[in-house]
């Protein structure tokens, strides 16, 4: 398990790389990294074959050795099951998970299963986003939802779609707060799709139908004494 000092240094170096992101992507990426616990961070390192022995030297050479520029993004790790998430829906192209640093209650992130850029988001991802928007409107009723924002973005080179309720005047740049695991679990149980199992029942015959059925049965040959 990573030590507190290792966690601190790894996050620090990753956050320095995030500073190169466009302004509209930077804050969300920072929130994702800062919210990761020791287990999630270690899984990310293993997935990307990075060494946890992070140098504390501040030189750029040491930083580049510890955290290479070309690493697999957090969202690919989520798709691969390496990071714990709170999934509420999915389809053939994408999964929908609760944002751990939500803008508002119900904030969901649609993640395409393939690592694609923002201009190549599959139509299935938008279909899932619209479906999630309907789920949020129908199941989050304790506070009136004025609108549902559906906003594509791109972090770590991986396109995503933010879907979040607007209760007051929330927007993509609103302050984010870390949600507690218990809160996310409860929200997941409310929003998650329930699989409907269809049970086939045999149609009961009426008396007249029964008589017709008997008439159609082959008759036994007449008995010869």
Kindly report which listed range (3-17, 64-78, 133-147, 180-194) carries the lowest average pLDDT score: 64-78
pLDDT of residue 111: 94
CATH superfamily of this structure's domain 73-194: HIT-like (3.30.428.10)
Strand partners, 90: 95
Measured CA to CA, the distance from residue 208 to residue 11 in angstroms comes to 77
Is the pTM above the cut of 0.75?
A: no
Instruction: Reply yes or no on whether the pLDDT at 138 is more than 90.
Output: yes
Strand partners, 111: 95
Measured CA to CA, the distance from residue 129 to residue 109 in angstroms comes to 8
pLDDT of residue 110: 95
Rg (CA), the chain: 27
Instruction: Reply yes or no on whether the pLDDT at 149 is more than 80.
Output: yes
Measured CA to CA, the distance from residue 160 to residue 153 in angstroms comes to 5
Instruction: Reply yes or no on whether the pLDDT at 74 is more than 90.
Output: no
pLDDT of residue 80: 81
Strand partners, 149: 164
DSSP string of 48-110, one letter each residue: TT--S-------HHHHHHHS-SS---HHHHHHTT-S---EEEE-SSEEEEE-SS-SSTT-EEE
Give the tokens for residue 66: 């510890």
pLDDT of residue 44: 64
* 3 state SS of 200: coil
Helices (H) and strands (E) in the chain, counts: 8, 5
Instruction: Reply yes or no on whether the pLDDT at 58 is more than 60.
Output: no
Instruction: Reply yes or no on whether the pLDDT at 133 is more than 70.
Output: yes
pLDDT digits (tens, 9 = 90+) for 7-34: 777 777 777 666 656 665 666 777 777 7
Q: Where are the domains of the chain?
A: 1-71, 73-194
């Amino acid at each position: 398990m990573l030590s507190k000092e290792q966690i601190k240094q790894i996050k620090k170096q990753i956050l320095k790389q995030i500073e190169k992101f466009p302004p509209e992507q930077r804050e969300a990426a920072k929130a994702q990294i800062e919210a990761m616990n020791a287990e999630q961070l270690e899984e990310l390192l293993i997935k990307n074959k990075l060494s946890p022995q992070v140098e504390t030297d501040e030189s750029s050479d040491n930083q580049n050795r510890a955290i290479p520029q070309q690493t697999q993004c957090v969202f690919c790790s989520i798709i691969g099951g390496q990071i714990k998430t709170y999934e509420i829906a999915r389809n053939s192209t994408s999964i929908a998970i609760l944002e751990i640093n939500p803008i508002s209650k119900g904030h969901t992130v649609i993640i395409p299963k393939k690592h694609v850029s923002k201009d190549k988001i599959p139509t299935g991802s938008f279909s899932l986003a619209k479906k999630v928007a309907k789920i949020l409107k129908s199941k989050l009723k304790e506070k009136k939802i004025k609108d549902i924002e559906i906003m594509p973005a791109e972090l770590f080179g991986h396109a995503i779609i933010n879907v979040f309720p607007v209760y007051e005047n929330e927007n993509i740049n609103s302050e984010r707060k870390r949600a507690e695991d218990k809160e996310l679990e409860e929200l997941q149980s409310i929003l998650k799709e329930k699989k409907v199992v269809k049970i086939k029942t045999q149609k009961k015959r009426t008396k007249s139908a029964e008589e017709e059925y008997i008439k159609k049965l082959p008759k036994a040959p007449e008995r010869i004494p």
